[in-house]
Structure 1
Amino acid sequence: MEALQMLKFWLKKDQLNFTKDWETPITDMTVDPDNSDVLGEVLSTQLTELDSMLDRLLGEED
């Protein structure tokens, strides 16, 4: 009887392993050493262009 319980436990354990083949690649776990602020650079160039356009518009209205 004990052998049947062990077999049942072994089969149940094998079937309920939902993460059997899931692995996280090492590249996903490492931190990117590039610390450049890409968003800041894009926004600064866009804001500079916006400022120059507004200056031109204000200059034309005066």
Structure 2
Amino acid sequence: MSHTPELPERYVCTNCHIVYAGTVRHEDDTYHYSAPDECAACGSTDFVTFEQYVRHKTA
């Protein structure tokens, strides 16, 4: 049986709409993802998960 790699959680900056792979940490044989502390492009600290982005009001 082959291994299927786990996809990282993705986050979208609500200011400039850049997509980031979540920061990963490994605890108890499980991977946990979190949004970056700050957007490298615009400096915003407001992120939503990629799945929530399509329902997030941007205007």
Shorter chain as denominator, the TM-score bin is under 0.3
Higher normalized contact order (CA 8 Å, seq sep 6+, divided by chain length) = 2
TM-score (ref. length: structure 1): 0.18
TM-score (ref. length: structure 2): 0.19
